[in-house]
Amino acid sequence: MGEVGLEAYLFVGAVLFVCGVVCMATKRNGIGVLMGVELVLNGANINFVAFSRFTPLGLDGQATALFVVVLAAAEAAVALAIALNYYNNHLTIDVDRGNELQG
Amino acid sequence: MTYLLEQAANGIGGTDGLLFWVFAILSCVGAVAVVATQNIVRMAFWLVVSLGSVAALFFLMHADFLGAAQLLIYVGGTVVLLVFGVMLTASGHTIKVQTSPAETLLGGGVGLLLLCVLIFAISTVNWADISQQIPAAGDSPAIVDAREDASLAESLSVATTPEAKATAEKALAAVEARRQAGRTIRQLGLSFYGLRPDHMNSSANAASAPGYLLPFEIISVHLLVVLIGAAYLARAKRRVTPGSGTDL
Protein backbone atom coordinates (compact mmCIF):
# COMPACT_ATOMS: atom_id res chain seq x y z
CA MET A 1 0.00 0.00 0.00
CA GLY A 2 2.05 2.97 1.21
CA GLU A 3 0.62 5.29 -1.42
CA VAL A 4 -2.21 7.61 -0.43
CA GLY A 5 -5.30 6.27 -2.17
CA LEU A 6 -8.89 7.20 -2.83
CA GLU A 7 -10.12 6.02 0.59
CA ALA A 8 -7.91 8.45 2.52
CA TYR A 9 -9.36 11.44 0.67
CA LEU A 10 -12.89 10.10 1.12
CA PHE A 11 -12.26 9.85 4.88
CA VAL A 12 -11.19 13.52 5.01
CA GLY A 13 -14.29 14.47 3.04
CA ALA A 14 -16.48 12.47 5.44
CA VAL A 15 -14.96 14.20 8.49
CA LEU A 16 -15.55 17.65 6.97
CA PHE A 17 -19.12 16.72 6.02
CA VAL A 18 -19.98 15.48 9.51
CA CYS A 19 -18.40 18.54 11.16
CA GLY A 20 -20.45 20.78 8.87
CA VAL A 21 -23.71 18.95 9.61
CA VAL A 22 -23.09 19.11 13.39
CA CYS A 23 -22.17 22.80 13.04
CA MET A 24 -25.40 23.54 11.15
CA ALA A 25 -27.48 21.63 13.70
CA THR A 26 -26.02 22.94 16.96
CA LYS A 27 -24.89 26.53 16.33
CA ARG A 28 -27.34 29.21 17.39
CA ASN A 29 -25.42 32.04 15.69
CA GLY A 30 -26.76 32.45 12.15
CA ILE A 31 -23.28 33.09 10.71
CA GLY A 32 -22.05 29.89 12.42
CA VAL A 33 -24.72 27.96 10.52
CA LEU A 34 -23.36 29.47 7.28
CA MET A 35 -19.85 28.28 8.21
CA GLY A 36 -21.29 24.77 8.62
CA VAL A 37 -22.70 24.97 5.08
CA GLU A 38 -19.25 25.92 3.77
CA LEU A 39 -17.71 22.88 5.51
CA VAL A 40 -20.30 20.54 3.99
CA LEU A 41 -19.68 21.91 0.49
CA ASN A 42 -15.92 21.48 0.95
CA GLY A 43 -16.34 17.88 2.05
CA ALA A 44 -18.35 17.21 -1.12
CA ASN A 45 -15.71 19.00 -3.21
CA ILE A 46 -12.93 16.80 -1.83
CA ASN A 47 -14.91 13.73 -2.93
CA PHE A 48 -15.47 15.17 -6.44
CA VAL A 49 -11.79 15.93 -6.97
CA ALA A 50 -10.69 12.61 -5.46
CA PHE A 51 -12.88 10.66 -7.89
CA SER A 52 -11.56 12.80 -10.73
CA ARG A 53 -7.99 11.98 -9.64
CA PHE A 54 -8.22 8.26 -8.89
CA THR A 55 -10.76 6.97 -11.43
CA PRO A 56 -10.66 7.21 -15.24
CA LEU A 57 -13.52 9.73 -15.33
CA GLY A 58 -11.54 12.63 -16.74
CA LEU A 59 -12.12 16.17 -15.57
CA ASP A 60 -15.85 15.92 -14.81
CA GLY A 61 -15.22 15.99 -11.07
CA GLN A 62 -13.04 19.09 -11.22
CA ALA A 63 -15.55 20.97 -13.40
CA THR A 64 -18.36 20.10 -10.98
CA ALA A 65 -16.22 21.18 -8.03
CA LEU A 66 -15.63 24.55 -9.70
CA PHE A 67 -19.39 25.04 -10.09
CA VAL A 68 -19.81 24.14 -6.41
CA VAL A 69 -17.22 26.75 -5.38
CA VAL A 70 -18.97 29.47 -7.39
CA LEU A 71 -22.43 28.49 -6.09
CA ALA A 72 -21.10 28.49 -2.52
CA ALA A 73 -19.83 32.05 -2.94
CA ALA A 74 -23.23 33.15 -4.32
CA GLU A 75 -25.05 31.34 -1.50
CA ALA A 76 -22.86 33.02 1.12
CA ALA A 77 -23.60 36.47 -0.35
CA VAL A 78 -27.40 36.00 -0.33
CA ALA A 79 -27.46 34.30 3.08
CA LEU A 80 -25.39 37.11 4.60
CA ALA A 81 -27.78 39.68 3.17
CA ILE A 82 -30.65 37.77 4.79
CA ALA A 83 -28.70 37.56 8.07
CA LEU A 84 -28.15 41.34 8.03
CA ASN A 85 -31.85 41.89 7.41
CA TYR A 86 -32.67 39.53 10.28
CA TYR A 87 -30.29 41.41 12.55
CA ASN A 88 -31.85 44.73 11.57
CA ASN A 89 -35.31 43.46 12.45
CA HIS A 90 -34.57 41.44 15.59
CA LEU A 91 -31.37 43.10 16.93
CA THR A 92 -29.88 39.63 17.41
CA ILE A 93 -28.36 36.92 15.22
CA ASP A 94 -29.62 34.02 17.38
CA VAL A 95 -31.57 31.73 15.06
CA ASP A 96 -33.64 30.37 17.95
CA ARG A 97 -35.29 33.76 18.32
CA GLY A 98 -36.53 33.83 14.73
CA ASN A 99 -39.87 32.15 15.41
CA GLU A 100 -42.18 34.94 14.32
CA LEU A 101 -43.48 32.92 11.41
CA GLN A 102 -44.67 30.10 13.71
CA GLY A 103 -48.34 29.27 13.09
CA MET B 1 -10.16 1.02 10.03
CA THR B 2 -7.93 -1.79 8.78
CA TYR B 3 -6.95 0.52 5.96
CA LEU B 4 -5.68 3.14 8.41
CA LEU B 5 -3.71 0.49 10.31
CA GLU B 6 -2.17 -0.73 7.06
CA GLN B 7 -1.18 2.84 6.23
CA ALA B 8 0.49 3.23 9.62
CA ALA B 9 2.28 -0.10 9.24
CA ASN B 10 3.60 0.61 5.77
CA GLY B 11 4.93 4.05 6.51
CA ILE B 12 3.50 7.30 5.25
CA GLY B 13 4.50 6.93 1.61
CA GLY B 14 7.07 9.55 0.62
CA THR B 15 6.77 13.33 0.36
CA ASP B 16 3.28 13.19 -1.13
CA GLY B 17 2.11 10.96 1.68
CA LEU B 18 3.68 13.18 4.35
CA LEU B 19 2.11 16.31 2.85
CA PHE B 20 -1.23 14.54 2.56
CA TRP B 21 -1.25 13.54 6.23
CA VAL B 22 -0.17 17.03 7.37
CA PHE B 23 -2.92 18.79 5.42
CA ALA B 24 -5.56 16.11 6.06
CA ILE B 25 -5.01 16.39 9.81
CA LEU B 26 -4.96 20.21 9.59
CA SER B 27 -8.25 20.34 7.71
CA CYS B 28 -9.94 17.84 10.05
CA VAL B 29 -8.65 19.65 13.17
CA GLY B 30 -9.85 22.97 11.73
CA ALA B 31 -13.30 21.54 10.98
CA VAL B 32 -13.63 20.04 14.48
CA ALA B 33 -12.48 23.33 16.02
CA VAL B 34 -15.13 25.23 14.04
CA VAL B 35 -17.74 23.02 15.69
CA ALA B 36 -16.13 23.13 19.15
CA THR B 37 -15.51 26.87 19.58
CA GLN B 38 -18.34 29.10 20.71
CA ASN B 39 -16.64 32.40 19.80
CA ILE B 40 -17.74 33.33 16.27
CA VAL B 41 -14.51 35.17 15.38
CA ARG B 42 -12.38 32.15 16.31
CA MET B 43 -14.72 29.98 14.27
CA ALA B 44 -13.90 32.16 11.25
CA PHE B 45 -10.18 31.69 11.90
CA TRP B 46 -10.48 27.89 12.12
CA LEU B 47 -12.58 27.93 8.95
CA VAL B 48 -9.67 29.65 7.17
CA VAL B 49 -7.29 26.91 8.42
CA SER B 50 -9.63 24.16 7.26
CA LEU B 51 -10.39 25.63 3.83
CA GLY B 52 -6.73 26.47 3.18
CA SER B 53 -5.74 22.88 3.94
CA VAL B 54 -8.46 21.67 1.58
CA ALA B 55 -6.88 23.85 -1.13
CA ALA B 56 -3.53 22.16 -0.41
CA LEU B 57 -5.22 18.76 -0.76
CA PHE B 58 -6.53 19.90 -4.18
CA PHE B 59 -2.97 20.73 -5.23
CA LEU B 60 -1.87 17.27 -4.05
CA MET B 61 -4.60 15.74 -6.26
CA HIS B 62 -3.14 17.47 -9.36
CA ALA B 63 -6.06 19.94 -9.48
CA ASP B 64 -3.92 23.07 -9.72
CA PHE B 65 -6.56 25.47 -11.06
CA LEU B 66 -9.17 24.28 -8.58
CA GLY B 67 -6.75 24.70 -5.68
CA ALA B 68 -5.98 28.26 -6.78
CA ALA B 69 -9.70 28.99 -7.20
CA GLN B 70 -10.36 27.58 -3.74
CA LEU B 71 -7.75 29.90 -2.23
CA LEU B 72 -8.97 32.94 -4.19
CA ILE B 73 -12.74 32.50 -3.90
CA TYR B 74 -13.16 30.70 -0.58
CA VAL B 75 -10.30 31.89 1.61
CA GLY B 76 -10.02 35.29 -0.06
CA GLY B 77 -13.68 35.97 -0.77
CA THR B 78 -16.27 33.92 1.08
CA VAL B 79 -14.54 33.89 4.46
CA VAL B 80 -13.89 37.65 4.25
CA LEU B 81 -17.60 38.06 3.50
CA LEU B 82 -18.42 35.95 6.57
CA VAL B 83 -16.05 38.02 8.73
CA PHE B 84 -17.78 41.19 7.51
CA GLY B 85 -21.08 39.59 8.46
CA VAL B 86 -19.70 38.88 11.92
CA MET B 87 -18.53 42.48 12.25
CA LEU B 88 -21.86 43.91 11.14
CA THR B 89 -23.93 41.72 13.43
CA ALA B 90 -21.65 41.61 16.50
CA SER B 91 -22.69 43.80 19.42
CA GLY B 92 -21.16 42.49 22.62
CA HIS B 93 -23.60 39.79 23.66
CA THR B 94 -23.96 38.31 20.16
CA ILE B 95 -20.26 37.43 19.90
CA LYS B 96 -20.92 34.43 22.11
CA VAL B 97 -24.28 32.76 21.70
CA GLN B 98 -23.89 29.64 23.80
CA THR B 99 -25.37 26.30 22.87
CA SER B 100 -26.76 24.41 25.85
CA PRO B 101 -24.63 21.40 26.98
CA ALA B 102 -27.42 18.91 26.34
CA GLU B 103 -27.74 20.06 22.72
CA THR B 104 -23.96 19.91 22.28
CA LEU B 105 -23.88 16.35 23.66
CA LEU B 106 -26.79 15.25 21.45
CA GLY B 107 -25.25 16.87 18.36
CA GLY B 108 -21.85 15.33 19.05
CA GLY B 109 -23.38 11.88 19.54
CA VAL B 110 -25.41 12.02 16.35
CA GLY B 111 -22.36 13.36 14.48
CA LEU B 112 -20.16 10.51 15.73
CA LEU B 113 -22.79 7.97 14.65
CA LEU B 114 -23.01 9.58 11.19
CA LEU B 115 -19.20 9.54 10.92
CA CYS B 116 -19.15 5.83 11.84
CA VAL B 117 -21.76 5.07 9.16
CA LEU B 118 -19.77 6.98 6.51
CA ILE B 119 -16.42 5.40 7.43
CA PHE B 120 -18.00 1.93 7.45
CA ALA B 121 -19.56 2.57 4.02
CA ILE B 122 -16.29 3.86 2.53
CA SER B 123 -14.22 1.00 3.93
CA THR B 124 -16.53 -1.79 2.74
CA VAL B 125 -16.50 -0.74 -0.94
CA ASN B 126 -13.63 -2.02 -3.09
CA TRP B 127 -12.88 1.19 -4.99
CA ALA B 128 -10.11 -0.29 -7.15
CA ASP B 129 -12.50 -2.85 -8.67
CA ILE B 130 -15.17 -0.23 -9.30
CA SER B 131 -12.82 2.20 -11.01
CA GLN B 132 -11.65 -0.60 -13.29
CA GLN B 133 -15.25 -1.30 -14.33
CA ILE B 134 -15.65 2.30 -15.49
CA PRO B 135 -15.00 2.53 -19.24
CA ALA B 136 -11.78 4.47 -19.64
CA ALA B 137 -13.42 7.32 -21.51
CA GLY B 138 -11.24 10.16 -20.33
CA ASP B 139 -7.59 10.46 -19.57
CA SER B 140 -7.30 12.58 -16.48
CA PRO B 141 -3.95 14.37 -16.16
CA ALA B 142 -2.90 12.09 -13.29
CA ILE B 143 -3.37 8.95 -15.39
CA VAL B 144 -1.52 10.49 -18.34
CA ASP B 145 1.29 11.40 -15.96
CA ALA B 146 1.53 7.85 -14.61
CA ARG B 147 1.66 6.40 -18.15
CA GLU B 148 4.37 8.90 -19.22
CA ASP B 149 6.39 8.18 -16.08
CA ALA B 150 6.33 4.45 -16.78
CA SER B 151 7.41 4.80 -20.42
CA LEU B 152 10.15 7.33 -19.58
CA ALA B 153 11.54 5.16 -16.79
CA GLU B 154 11.57 2.20 -19.17
CA SER B 155 13.42 4.13 -21.89
CA LEU B 156 15.90 5.42 -19.31
CA SER B 157 16.61 1.93 -17.99
CA VAL B 158 16.93 0.38 -21.46
CA ALA B 159 19.34 3.10 -22.65
CA THR B 160 22.93 1.84 -22.64
CA THR B 161 24.85 4.23 -24.92
CA PRO B 162 25.51 7.78 -23.68
CA GLU B 163 23.56 9.26 -26.62
CA ALA B 164 20.45 7.24 -25.88
CA LYS B 165 20.69 8.14 -22.20
CA ALA B 166 21.01 11.86 -23.05
CA THR B 167 17.93 11.64 -25.31
CA ALA B 168 15.90 9.98 -22.57
CA GLU B 169 16.96 12.56 -20.02
CA LYS B 170 16.04 15.38 -22.42
CA ALA B 171 12.56 13.85 -22.84
CA LEU B 172 12.24 13.65 -19.06
CA ALA B 173 13.19 17.33 -18.67
CA ALA B 174 10.67 18.32 -21.39
CA VAL B 175 7.90 16.42 -19.60
CA GLU B 176 8.79 18.07 -16.30
CA ALA B 177 8.72 21.55 -17.88
CA ARG B 178 5.34 20.86 -19.50
CA ARG B 179 3.90 19.68 -16.19
CA GLN B 180 5.05 22.77 -14.35
CA ALA B 181 3.15 24.90 -16.89
CA GLY B 182 -0.14 23.59 -15.45
CA ARG B 183 -2.25 20.79 -16.82
CA THR B 184 -5.87 21.40 -15.97
CA ILE B 185 -6.48 25.07 -16.79
CA ARG B 186 -6.64 24.64 -20.57
CA GLN B 187 -8.78 21.51 -20.33
CA LEU B 188 -11.19 23.08 -17.84
CA GLY B 189 -11.48 26.23 -19.95
CA LEU B 190 -12.21 24.25 -23.10
CA SER B 191 -14.78 22.11 -21.28
CA PHE B 192 -16.62 25.31 -20.31
CA TYR B 193 -16.81 26.08 -24.04
CA GLY B 194 -18.37 22.67 -24.66
CA LEU B 195 -15.23 20.85 -25.83
CA ARG B 196 -13.68 17.91 -24.04
CA PRO B 197 -9.94 17.61 -24.79
CA ASP B 198 -9.56 14.93 -22.11
CA HIS B 199 -12.04 12.70 -23.96
CA MET B 200 -10.36 13.04 -27.35
CA ASN B 201 -8.61 9.65 -27.34
CA SER B 202 -11.43 8.15 -29.39
CA SER B 203 -13.78 9.90 -31.79
CA ALA B 204 -16.91 8.22 -30.36
CA ASN B 205 -16.16 9.53 -26.88
CA ALA B 206 -15.35 12.99 -28.19
CA ALA B 207 -18.75 13.18 -29.88
CA SER B 208 -20.72 11.95 -26.88
CA ALA B 209 -18.80 13.55 -24.01
CA PRO B 210 -20.81 16.40 -22.56
CA GLY B 211 -19.28 19.82 -22.31
CA TYR B 212 -20.28 22.43 -19.78
CA LEU B 213 -21.41 25.32 -21.97
CA LEU B 214 -25.04 25.36 -20.75
CA PRO B 215 -24.20 25.07 -17.02
CA PHE B 216 -21.59 27.79 -17.52
CA GLU B 217 -24.19 30.15 -19.01
CA ILE B 218 -26.74 29.28 -16.32
CA ILE B 219 -24.22 29.98 -13.56
CA SER B 220 -23.33 33.31 -15.16
CA VAL B 221 -26.98 34.43 -15.09
CA HIS B 222 -27.26 32.99 -11.59
CA LEU B 223 -24.39 35.15 -10.37
CA LEU B 224 -26.01 38.25 -11.88
CA VAL B 225 -29.33 37.44 -10.16
CA VAL B 226 -27.50 36.83 -6.87
CA LEU B 227 -25.70 40.18 -7.19
CA ILE B 228 -28.97 42.06 -7.69
CA GLY B 229 -30.78 40.05 -5.01
CA ALA B 230 -28.07 40.52 -2.38
CA ALA B 231 -27.89 44.26 -3.06
CA TYR B 232 -31.69 44.49 -2.78
CA LEU B 233 -31.87 42.47 0.45
CA ALA B 234 -28.98 44.24 2.18
CA ARG B 235 -29.88 47.81 1.20
CA ALA B 236 -29.81 50.38 3.97
CA LYS B 237 -33.06 50.58 5.85
CA ARG B 238 -34.41 52.43 8.82
CA ARG B 239 -33.84 50.32 11.93
CA VAL B 240 -37.01 49.52 13.87
CA THR B 241 -37.43 48.38 17.44
CA PRO B 242 -38.12 44.66 17.80
CA GLY B 243 -41.75 43.68 17.66
CA SER B 244 -43.07 46.78 15.93
CA GLY B 245 -43.79 44.97 12.68
CA THR B 246 -42.28 45.51 9.25
CA ASP B 247 -40.35 48.53 8.15
CA LEU B 248 -41.57 48.76 4.60
**Closest Cα to residue B140, out of A56, A25, A50, A93?**
A56
Which residue in B35, B119, B219 is closest to A11 by CB distance? B119
Question: Given a cut of 90, is residue B239 above it in pLDDT?
Answer: no
Q: What is the mean pLDDT of residues A38-42?
A: 95
The proportion of chain B whose per-residue pLDDT surpasses 90, expressed as a percent, equals 31
Residue A59 is classified by DSSP as T
Contact A57 B107 (CB under 8 A): no
In a domain, B194, yes or no: no
Q: Which residue has the higher pLDDT, B163 or A78?
A: A78
Yes or no: say if A37 and A82 are a contact pair by the CB < 8 Å rule.
no
Yes or no: say if B139 and A58 are a contact pair by the CB < 8 Å rule.
yes
* Number of independent structural domains in chain B: 1
Q: Which residue has the higher pLDDT, A90 or B110?
A: B110
Which domains are assigned to chain A?
7-91 (1.10.287.3510)
**Closest Cα to residue B38, out of A9, A101, A31, A68?**
A31
Condensed to tens digits (0 to 9), the pLDDT of residues B217-236 reads: 999 999 999 999 998 887 76
In a domain, B234, yes or no: no
Specify the pLDDT at position B185: 82
The proportion of chain B whose per-residue pLDDT surpasses 70, expressed as a percent, equals 74
Reported pTM: 0.81
Contact B122 A10 (CB under 8 A): yes
Contact B234 A14 (CB under 8 A): no
Question: Given a cut of 80, is residue B77 above it in pLDDT?
Answer: yes
CATH code of B93's domain: 1.20.120.1200
Specify the pLDDT at position B207: 57
Q: What is the mean pLDDT of residues B180-199?
A: 75
- Taking the C-alpha atoms of B232, B238, B244 and B248 in order, what is their torsion angle to the nearest 10 degrees? -40
In a domain, B82, yes or no: yes
Question: How far is the alpha carbon of A103 from chain B, nearest alpha carbon, in Å?
Answer: 16
In a domain, B119, yes or no: no
In a domain, B69, yes or no: yes
Please, which pLDDT band fits residue A50 given cuts at 50, 70 and 90? very high
The answer to whether A68 faces chain B, any CB pair under 8 Å, is no
ipTM for this model: 0.92
Contact B11 A50 (CB under 8 A): no
Specify the pLDDT at position B130: 82
In a domain, B17, yes or no: yes
* Window from A65-69, B2-6, B81-85, B121-125 with minimum mean pLDDT: B2-6
Domain span including residue B59: 2-98
Q: For CA atoms B133, A49, B178, B166, give the dihedral sign.
A: negative
Please, which pLDDT band fits residue B93 given cuts at 50, 70 and 90? low
Instruction: List Cβ neighbours of B238 (8 Å cut-off, separation of 6 or more).
Output: B247
Q: What is the mean pLDDT of residues B107-131?
A: 91
Contacts 24+ apart (CB under 8 A), B192-197: B192/A63, B192/B216, B196/A58, B196/A59, B196/B138
Residues composing chain A: 103
- Per the prediction, chain B carries an average pLDDT of 80
In a domain, B56, yes or no: yes
The answer to whether B242 faces chain A, any CB pair under 8 Å, is yes
Specify the pLDDT at position A1: 40
Q: Which residue has the higher pLDDT, A84 or B170?
A: A84
Condensed to tens digits (0 to 9), the pLDDT of residues B36-52 reads: 998 888 999 999 999 99
Condensed to tens digits (0 to 9), the pLDDT of residues A14-30 reads: 999 999 999 999 988 88
Specify the pLDDT at position B243: 56
- Please state, in angstroms and rounded to a whole number, the distance separating the CA atoms of residues A10 and B24: 11
